[in-house]
Each structure stands twice: as structure tokens, then as C-alpha cells.
Amino acid sequence: MNLMLIVHIIESLLIIYFSLYLLIELAMIIIFFFVWRSDSDSASSPQKAPVGNQGISIIVPAYNEEMTIVDVVEMLGESDYPDYEIIVVADGCTDSTLKRLIYHYDLEEVSRENVDTIGTSGFRQVYTSPVNQLLTVIDKPNGGKADALNVGLSFSNRPYVCTIDADSILDPQALKQVAAPFMADDGDKVEMVGGALAVANKSKLVSNRLVDGEFPRNPWVIFQIIEYLRSFLVSRTGLAKIRALLVLSGAFTLFRRESLLEAGGFLSPQNKHPYVKKLGIDGRHTVCEDLEVVVRLRRYRKEQNGSSKTVFLPRPICWTEVPESAADLAHQRNRWHRGLLETLHIHRSLIWEPFYGTLGLLAMPYYLIFEALAPIIKLFALIFVGALLAWGLVDRMVMILLLLSINIAAVVFIGIITVIVENWGRKHSPVNVSALRYKKNPEWVALLGMSVLGDLTFSHFRMFWQLRGTWDFLRGVKSWNKLDRKGFHDNS
């Protein structure tokens, strides 16, 4: 086999791969547009009050979150949902997280028993507050985020469980929004509901509510705003519609409690649940418990001959603080990619397995080929094209025009999405979207400009971080690398 034949074969494979990638992206955009339009009218109308036993337990795992924990609890206390409780799980904090909660809410030690059917590291003490009767605080030995969530799950006494990060800010109507799919006509099939996230950095907090946001000057934050719009919002909306979504952010997701308990809760080294043991993953650990639990819930329901539905709300109902430094962002993307690879490896038997329907034939292969392997294929493509250019086998002008057209398409794409999001927010929003940062023409133009720059720079940084995550996965690295938080400051 001569060299040119090998080159042509590689060219053909890369063309097929990237053509499929672009077709999938185009399909996601089209689906997003129609889903957004169909959901706008229903989302703009007030949500009906929950009927029957529709209470929610909000679980907030907290490890060294002294900068944000009080603001988050105060914000959660402003929810207009009729029946909910707040469970903060202090996971062996070494800072003043627990002290701040005790001081701010006059916490009192109480005797409380729980039924641990999952397997956890246990707890030290339980506190309640005479100031905020919605609040329960659990102090426990450090066991990781998944273990903290399982402890909170064992203490919860509502039929639905909402997991939220200690740096997330919710709108008062957010719980009603995520609870609504469970009360729809096909609500008995719904297993979990997640919502779109928006970037909270440089936002103003007044009376525990985000009311405005400055356009950030930090390029790493701007790149993430674009990414949240283009990758997370659009792609997840489309994937959810075709039942291929496997990622619901741990920053804000609502689960059916009974389903979580049946499927074994969140995966941690302490987890000894019978179903987790059946899968042979007891004692295992993942750095992205939110991804793994979605796959396992869908897997469990299919094995029980039931049907499940994962709902993604294409509207910003949760704001989260994102990394502001390259180092923190690198650690986060490394961890996300390791978590994806860990989950695909744990549940590898599902890939191309017809029994699991769209989970095995569509969702798992998509995340393997177009997410997990993407950085490796992209790096190979860059090296391959560079070699062809060096050998004079590709016209340089053709490559320049191709790159230019891709960047123009990126600008048009992000422009359309921002216009759709902002116009809908002004006309229909049931929640507060004023914290979005592209309301003025100069900000919008800056966002478009940074979209082009992001394709030329940030995408390559992200690829490198993901490649490092792949290497760390192969080496068995399990580190979390906690991010530095700036915290929110109430201006009321």
C-alpha cells in the first residue's frame, strides 16, 4: 500500500467524521429552534401549583464553601415553591463553612436517625435552625461529593430530590419550572429534569436575587459564556429531544427520590447498594457523579422493562460561578473529561447494545465518538493537515478559506442564539434573565468577536485540557482540584 493511498484513506475518514459532526451540530440547532419556540408560550404562563405530595428536598453538598454558603441558603429560602426543605451537607469542611451556618442561623444540635440503604461514611451531627425552619445542616466526615449527596438523600423526606452546588443561584420560580414536567400528562415517565445554566460572574445580587450583570472583561469567562450558549444550551436541548442526553449538571437537577434509591444513589467508594454491587462497581469512584447517575438511572429503568424520560429545560433558570483563571478552567475541563471517560468505561457494556434502545444505540455511541474521542481525533487531524501543508499536498489558500468560513459560521451561529435567547427573555421570561450579559449592542458585538477568537484559541486550549484528562484517566488519577470561589455579594 503506497503512501498516497494511505493519505487518501485517512482524508476520507476525517471528512466523514467531521461531516457527521457538522450535520449533528446543524440538527441540534434546528431542534433547539423548534423546541425553544414551542416551549416559549408554555414557559411564559404561570406554573400551576403542585397537587398532592409533590414536596422537594434540596440537597446542597458543601466542602469549604465559606464564600457562598450563606448566600445560597438565603437564596433558596426565597423560593416560591409551596413544599420544600433545604439540606446542607458539610462534607468534612476545614474552613469556616459550618461555623458560618451555625452563627448565621443559630443552629442547634438535634438527635436524628436516618435509614442508610445506600452505604455512606455516616455523619457526625445534625443541626436545625429556629431562624430558618426549612434548613437542616448535616456535619459529616469528608467522603467526597457523591457520598455527601447520598447522606443528604438518606435524610430527605420528600418525594423529589433537587441537587444543587453551593455556588449556584436559583430564581424564586426555578423549582416550579423543574417540577412542572413531573406534573405533566406523561409525568410518571419522567425520571429527572435539568435546566440551562448561565454564568453568574460579575452579576449583582439584590435581596438574594440576581438582578443585573456586567459584561465581564475576563476572556476566560467570556469564552465560557459562549460555550454555555453554544455547546451546553443548544446541544443538550437537541440531545434531550432525541432521548440521547446523558449530562444534567449537578449544579441544578431534580430527581424522583424513589428512582434514585432504587438505582443506588450516587456512585462513591462507600456505596454498597445491591444494584451497584450487581453491576460490579461497588467501591468505585467517579469525579463526575452527575453524569454517571444519569446513565445508571436510565439503565436501571430499562432493565426493569420500564420507560424513562430525561427532560432538559432550554431556559436559564440557574446561575453558577465559573472559573476565572486558566489554571482553574484547565482543572475543571480535565475533570469533566475524566468523568466522561470513567462513565463510558463503567457502563461500556451498554454501547451498541440494542436492548437499551436509544441509550445503547445512540446516546452512548455519540458520547464515545463525538465527545470522548473528539480531542484525540482533532489533534490527529491538525497534525495530519499540517503535514499535508508541509508536503505541499494541500493548497494553503483553500485551507485559509475553509477556516474563514468556519469562523464566519460560528459568528452567525452565536449571533442567532443570543438574539433568540434575549428576545425570548424580554417577552416571555417567567424567571429573571436580566443577569444575561448581551443586552447592549457593544456587548453583543464583543460576544460575536470573542466567538471568533474562541474558535481560534479557546477551542485548542480546551482540546489540550481534555487530552490531559484522557492521559490522567489512563493513569487512574482521581483528584478533584477544587476551584477558587469569589462568592456573591448582596447589594441590597
* pLDDT for res 209: 67
Strand arrangement, sheet containing 135-140? 108-110, 125-128, 135-140, 84-91, 56-62, 160-164, 252-256, 190-199, 309-320, 168-170
pLDDT value at 422 more than 70: no
Lowest mean pLDDT, pick from 129-143, 287-301, 309-323: 309-323
pTM for the complete prediction?
Answer: 0.91
Asked whether the beta carbons of 61 and 139 are under 8 A apart, the reply is no
* pLDDT for res 384: 87
Cα 227 from Cα 455, distance rounded (Å): 10
Which grid coordinates are listed for 423?
A: 428576545
Sign, CA dihedral 340-343-346-350, equals negative
**C-alpha of 84 from chain center:** 23
* pLDDT for res 33: 80
Q: Show Cβ contacts of residue 478 under 8 Å, excluding neighbours closer than 6 positions.
A: 285, 287
Instruction: Tell me the per-residue pLDDT of 151-201, one tens digit each, with 9 for 90 and over.
Output: 999 999 999 999 999 888 888 888 998 999 998 888 888 999 998 888 888
Q: Give CA separation, 267 vs 130, 140, 164, 181, 213, in Å.
A: 34, 17, 17, 26, 36
How is residue 490 annotated by DSSP? B
* pLDDT for res 462: 94
